[in-house]
Structure 1
Amino acid sequence: MKEEQLDKKIASFAPLAAGGISKGVKVFAPATVANLVCGFDVLGMALHRPQDLMSVRLRDEPGIVIQHTDGYQLPVEPEKNVAGAALLAMLEEVKEPPGFDITIDKRIKPGSGLGSSAASSAGVVVAANHLLGNIFSNEDLVRFAMNGEKVASGVKHADNIAPAIYGGITLIRSIFPLDIVQLSAPPLYVTVVHPQIEVRTSDARQILRKEVKLKDAIRQWGNIAGLVAGFMKNDYSLIGRSLEDVIIEPVRSMLIPGFDEVKKNSKEAGALGGGISGSGPSIFMLSREESTAQQVEYVMTEVYVKLGIDFKTYVTTISYDGVKVLEDNE
């Protein structure tokens, strides 16, 4: 960022630090579905449920203090915590940065495949930006929050971060430089089943093939283009036909017990299609009608009851708000 831009932004921050508009905010940070089957690392979608709750407040002295109220035993050192890493990246571009107290009530289970790390990373930068007088753009916030994803998985990726910040469905055309495209979509219901096992994103990346056959790449490109076109044309049939992954899913699905049966039974129940949410183990399905989404939930439940694996389900919709900010002046 250019020096003159920083000067301008810090000038707008000064009255807030002096005790004016707001000392603290609470934010709801949404779960997200990354990849959307065929769009590995380039497509993502924000959900209304579940959501993390975070409180971010300005401190009277420099430094970042993090506490969790969720019992997941996540690290609280800023450099090792995804929210801390994202906020540190932001504060590198702020002259005389203030300190922050961060309290995280994580309701999106880590390792669920529902963008748990992205929710913390996106939530903290949106909250801090609000307290600084909204001096950074959404694209800047994605750039900062990607540092949290690097802590979580070893790789900077934005397919969860972008929808968490922008809301709705997003396409990451490019990471370097960032080029984020917001996509329209027809009304859709999302059914998610989260079998209570953990699949670490870093582990799920390690098993991927390093080379892809040209015929598979061509088929995948067609599906990605078809899915984007289906969203923008409100074409449910095209959306359903395009929810196919010939590269990532055949490998990662082996880590998820019951995956093939869930997918088969969900489509028979009327779902348009779906697949692995992020790196798993959660599985999502898209439906045109709420009644179909509820029937999909039922058949997902049947599979995991039969397997004897604990699970959690959600029937929800696309969140077009992204991270939601609430004033907290306590």
Structure 2
Amino acid sequence: MTNLNNQHIAPIVGSTCKVLSPATVANVVCGFDILGFALNEPNDIITLSISNGPGVTIINADDFNLPTKAEDNVSGAALIALLEETPDVQGFTLISEKTIKPGSGIGSSAASAAGVVVAANHLLGNRFSKADLVRFAMFGEKVASGVKHADNIAPCIYGGVTLIRSIYPLDIVSLQAPLLHVTVVHPQIEVRTADARQILRQKVLLKDAIKQWGNIAGLVAGLLQGDYDLIGRSLEDVIIEPVRSILIPGFDEVKKRCKEAGALGGGISGSGPSIFMLSKDAATAAAVEKEMAAVFTRIGIAYHTHLTTINSEGAKVVPL
């Protein structure tokens, strides 16, 4: 709901703010489209200003050559949705500096869409709730994948681990979690979210659905109870991963070697090609990184890795 108490704040043309918008891991193995968490690294840098002209002007300060037409850009689509409920502002100017590579599987589109609405809300005196911001940002995700999903958007805005209980109506639950170290490997291949969705089965066997429900419930319980063993046992996907993993060379070997190195478990981050693993401590997470690197070095695919933890804040305003 809109915060009516802040509606009297008059936006000032030229006002500018900068936001760090984090990468995210969606699905968290068994929670397809309903679970996600934010990462402390990497982050996109978003600089947004209130403009005196109508619409959204987009300036890309990176080499990804993303669309600058607002309707075709995930940030632009999110801002257009917000502007429809902001009659006292004509438009925005966005400078986008992405470090989260599009198509990486760690929420590049969500970082863009969520980051700009967090920035806009700051410039507007925080008149919108976090749920409102998720609603606006989901228009960006629709541009990226054709579907309004929130499993990357929600943790990017709320921080931490989030559960999307429902999209219609939107119902987001923040979950407490113990300290978890996250290792991510991004093989330098591209898996488009829209393509990764198209290959999924539209029907599943009841026995598979029951197993998946048990894993989702177990993972949520493990997070809330700080039960690392239960978290590890529940990081199993019998519906999505068996299909999507064929798009990622070396996936099965990476998963096997990382668990042997002590990881609790993990799997495909979002639609891939990035793979994430959760560990109880930094030393294990570093050992997991070495195993990931060894696999992709052997099969001859360039890669990037990230050693990080869960970001409890989400997208945040930082000094200009």
- Give the TM bin, normalised by the shorter chain: over 0.9
Equivalent position amino acid for 2:8 in 1? A
Equivalent runs, 1:125-140 vs 2, <5 Å: 125-140=117-132
> For the Cα contact (< 8 Å) 1:10–1:94, is it kept in 2?
no
Give the aligned partner of residue 85 of structure 1.
Answer: 77
Give the aligned partner of residue 247 of structure 1.
Answer: 239
Q: Distance in 1 between matches of 2:84 and 2:7?
A: 12
Give the aligned partner of residue 74 of structure 1.
Answer: 66
Q: Out of 12, 19, 29, which is 1:17 matched to?
A: 12
Q: Out of 152, 158, 161, which is 2:144 matched to?
A: 152
Q: Are residues 219 and 128 of structure 1, via their aligned partners in 2, closer, same or farther at CA, if it must alter by over 3 Å?
A: same
Aligned positions, number:
320
Offset of 1:131 from its aligned partner?
Answer: 0.2
Offset of 1:62 from its aligned partner?
Answer: 2.5
1:324 aligns with 2:316: yes
Secondary structure at 1:202's aligned position in 2?
Answer: helix
Give the aligned partner of residue 302 of structure 2.
Answer: 310
Q: Distance in 2 between matches of 1:6 and 1:137?
A: 7
Q: Distance in 2 between matches of 1:37 and 1:136?
A: 31
Give the aligned partner of residue 135 of structure 2.
Answer: 143
Q: What CA RMSD, in Å, does the superposition of the two structures yield over aligned residues?
A: 1.3
1:162 aligns with 2:154: yes
Equivalent position amino acid for 1:314 in 2? H
Offset of 1:126 from its aligned partner?
Answer: 0.2
Give the aligned partner of residue 267 of structure 2.
Answer: 275
Offset of 1:102 from its aligned partner?
Answer: 0.3
Q: Out of 47, 50, 57, which is 1:55 matched to?
A: 47
Q: Distance in 2 between matches of 1:18 and 1:306?
A: 54
Q: Distance in 2 between matches of 1:59 and 1:88?
A: 13
Q: Are residues 60 and 274 of structure 1, via their aligned partners in 2, closer, same or farther at CA, if it must alter by over 3 Å?
A: same
Structure 1 runs (4+) greater than 3 angstroms displaced: 5-10
Extract unaligned runs of 5+ from structure 1.
none
1:231 aligns with 2:223: yes
> For the Cα contact (< 8 Å) 1:47–1:316, is it kept in 2?
yes
Equivalent runs, 1:197-212 vs 2, <5 Å: 197-212=189-204
Q: Are residues 170 and 7 of structure 1, via their aligned partners in 2, closer, same or farther at CA, if it must alter by over 3 Å?
A: closer
Q: Distance in 2 between matches of 1:59 and 1:97?
A: 8
Offset of 1:18 from its aligned partner?
Answer: 6.6
Q: Which range is displaced more, 178-187 or 63-72? A: 63-72
Q: Are residues 88 and 237 of structure 1, via their aligned partners in 2, closer, same or farther at CA, if it must alter by over 3 Å?
A: same
Query: How high is the sequence identity, in percent, across the aligned residues?
Result: 66
Deviations 1:85-130 (A, max 9, x none): 0000011011132321100111000000000000000000000000
1:263 aligns with 2:255: yes
1:98 aligns with 2:90: yes
Q: Distance in 2 between matches of 1:6 and 1:222?
A: 38
> For the Cα contact (< 8 Å) 2:50–2:89, is it kept in 1?
no
